[in-house]
Amino acid sequence: MPKLVDHELRRRAIAEALWRLADREGLDAINIRAVARESGWSTGVVAHYFADKDDLLAFAFELVGAGCAGRAERARDDAPDRRTALRAMLAEALPLDDRRRLEATIWFGFLVRAAAVPRMGEVVRRRYADWTAQLAAELAATGSPDPEGAARELIALVDGLALQALSSPEGMPPEAQERLVAGAVGRLARAIDD
């Protein structure tokens, strides 16, 4: 009888090792061998799931995006009104605590790498399209005249704030990030119930 292997579980365990490594040593330290060592699997097992460093980073990037989208959905469901919902959804992509700071590190590290490796652009494009659709649905429900444009603007704003916060924490503290997002949401969602 062949051994049963839970591939999804293995991929996740490998991803968690990658996560710990990125947190401790930065994105530059990520490669198949280092992730294998950290995860306790052999290089061969890791290489079975991921062809190279870029493949590993793309998987980590996708996980950050999916995690952020899931939390944004829950934040929306918990919010008392739509403006609060939008602010809470966007806050999931700001580096306001250690977990989100690590996520942002992986996110922007991947984006900068994708700028140099064209085949990665498609992973980025899809993730942003999904995120735009999620926010646009919420904005459409508020009666926004251009929900997609508003979603794209808010996403770019959040990315710009997050990147400044990561690279210059004193220049962009959490209060400033949240205040600027709240201002933009207020202007872009004028027709909102609250």
Contact 150, 56 (CB under 8 A): no
User: Contacts with its own copies in 164-193 (CB under 8 A)?
Assistant: 164, 166-172, 176, 179-180, 183-184, 187-188
Find the binder of its own copies among 47, 88, 124, 140 (CB under 8 A).
124
Tell me how far apart the alpha carbons of residues 105 and 84 are, in angstroms, rounded to a whole number: 26
The token pair that represents 102 in the structure block: 């690590």
| Stretch near its own copies under the rule CB under 8 A, chosen from 12-20, 50-58, 72-80, 119-127 | 119-127
* DSSP letter string, 120-165: GHHHHHHHHHHHHHHHHHHHHHTT-SSHHHHHHHHHHHHHHHHHHH
Find the binder of its own copies among 23, 62, 153, 178 (CB under 8 A).
153
Q: Is 159 in the site for its own copies (CB under 8 A)?
A: yes
Of the pair 41, 189, the CB lying nearest its own copies is at 189
Q: What share of the chain is helix, strand, coil (3-state, %, to 5)?
A: 80, 0, 20
User: Contacts with its own copies in 29-88 (CB under 8 A)?
Assistant: none
CA 125 from centroid of its chain's CA atoms: 13
Of the pair 49, 128, the CB lying nearest its own copies is at 128
User: Which residues contact its own copies by CB under 8 A?
Assistant: 26-28, 105, 108-112, 114-116, 120-122, 124-125, 128-129, 149, 152-153, 155-161, 163-164, 166-172, 176, 179-180, 183-184, 187-188
